[in-house]
Amino acid sequence: MSRKYFGTDGIRGHVGQSPITPDFFLKLAHCVGRVLKRSESRPTVLIGKDTRISGYMLESALESGFNSAGVDVILLGPLPTPGVAHLTQAQRASLGVVISASHNPFDDNGIKFFSSRGSKLGDEWELSVERLLAEEPVWVDSADLGKTKRLNDAAGRYIEFCKSTFDGDLTLKGLRIVVDAAHGAAYQIAQAVFLELGAQVHTLGCSPNGMNINQDVGATHPQALIAMVKEKEADFGIALDGDADRLQFVDRHGRLFNGDELLYLMASERVAQGEQLGGVVGTLMTNQAVENAIVQLGLKFIRAKVGDRYVLEALEQNHWVLGGEGSGHLLALDKHSTGDGLISALQVLQTCLRSKKDPSELLKEVVLFPQVLLNVPNKGPDAWQASEALKALIDMEEKQLGREGRILIRPSGTEPLVRVMVEARSQETAHRVALALSQAI
C-alpha cells in the first residue's frame, strides 16, 4: 500500500484545500487515536504548533478528534518542533503532535508526529493510520471521551533542556549574537536560550502576527541575518526556520555556512575531544567535499535518502550519533532524539569556543564542490531508468570524475521531472556533465 497523505515529513499542504482542512484533521486525529489505543487503554497526546494563524483552527480540530477516540490531550501552545519531541519523552506521553509547515509560507500548514521516545515514526505506522482513514469512525461512549488541559510552562522546560546540552564549563559571555527566529515557533525561546547562557542578543524575526512566518527572514532567507550581523558587528548569526528544527549559521564576516559544513564542524570537534564517533550520516545531496573531509577525520560516512527521518534511521542502525542535511537539519542523538536548530547552534558555538577559531578558519581545508542541478521533463513512464545508453554514459562520466565528483539522478516526488545533480571540482565540469546527462534523458 502506498501512502496517500503522508510525505517525507508528515502531511503538508495549502490551508483550506484537502487535506489541510478542519474536517480532515478531526478524522486524522480520531484515526491516530484508534491506532494508539491498540497498545494503550488511555493514551495521552501532546500538541504544539508554530505561529501560523491557521494553527488555532487545526488545533481545535485535532483536540476534538483525539477526544472522540478516548485520548487525553495536553496543549503546549507555540513551541518548536524539537521542543514537542523533548516534552513528549519527558512527560511520558504516548505521542507528540506538531502543527506546522516548517519553512513554507503562512498559508500552508501541516502536521507531524513523534513517538513516545521523541523520534519520528516509521512508514508502517503512517500506513496503519491511512488504512483507518478509509474506514468509518468508531466513537467512544461519553464516559470514555478524552479530556484536554494546557501545560503552561512548556516553553520554560524546553529552554532549560536546550541549555543543558551546552557544556557546563563554557559560557557565551562576551559574545554578540543575532538570533533570527523567522517569526516562528521559537520567537520567545531562542533569544532566552542564548541570553541565559551569557550572550548579548540582538533579535530578528521575533514578532509574529500569524501571517509573517518565514517572510523574508529565517533559515530560508538568511540575507536579513547577514545584514544585521554586519550592522551590529556581531560575532555570530543564527537563523532558524518556522518550526526551529533547521539552522543556518553566519560568522562575523557575514559568511553563511550550510548544514553540510556545520555537520563537519560538529564531527571535527568531537574527534578533537577524543570521542569515538564511528561514523557520520549525510544524505544523497551532501556535498562530496564534506564527505571527503569527514573520512579524513578517520570516520566512516554513509548517505541516507533525503529527509531527516532517513538520516535518523541510518544513525540508529549503525549506533552512531551525528548526521544531517545541507538544509540545516542536524542530529546529535546524544543531545536530542531529533533535529534541533537551537541545540545544533549551541554545538557549533561550542566548537568555536573550544578551538578558539572562527568557522571559516576551521573549514579552510573544506572547499565545497560546485554543484549543478538541472530539472528534465519526465514524459510518461520512467523509460530513462531502463536506458542502457544512459547507464553507459553515467558509468563513463563517473569513472572520469572518480573521487573528484559525483552524479545523482532521481525522479521528483512531487512533479513530472527527473532531477540531475552533478558535483565536480570545477563549475565547468559539473555543468558539462549535467548537460550531457540531461540531453541523454
Active site residues per annotation: 102
Residue 99 three-state SS? strand
Distance of alpha carbon 111 from alpha carbon 26, whole angstroms: 12
Q: Hey, what's the cell of 183?
A: 517569526
Of 302, 290, 295, 301, the residue nearest 371 (C-alpha): 290
359 neighbors 249 (Cβ within 8 angstroms):
yes
Residue 136 three-state SS? coil
Of 99, 90, 131, 94, the residue nearest 5 (C-alpha): 131
Distance of alpha carbon 374 from alpha carbon 327, whole angstroms: 18
Give the bridge partners for 45, in sequence order: 73, 95
User: How many beta carbons lie within 10 A of that of residue 205, not counting itself?
Assistant: 29
Beta strand segments in 182-222, E? 200-204
Distance of alpha carbon 90 from alpha carbon 78, whole angstroms: 18
Distance of CA 238 to the CA centre of its chain: 15
Q: Hey, what's the cell of 412?
A: 521528483
> How many residues are there in the chain?
441
DSSP code of residue 93: -
DSSP per residue, 42-57: S-EEEEEE-S-THHHH
140 burial (CB, 10 Å; 0-12 / 13-18 / 19+) is: middle
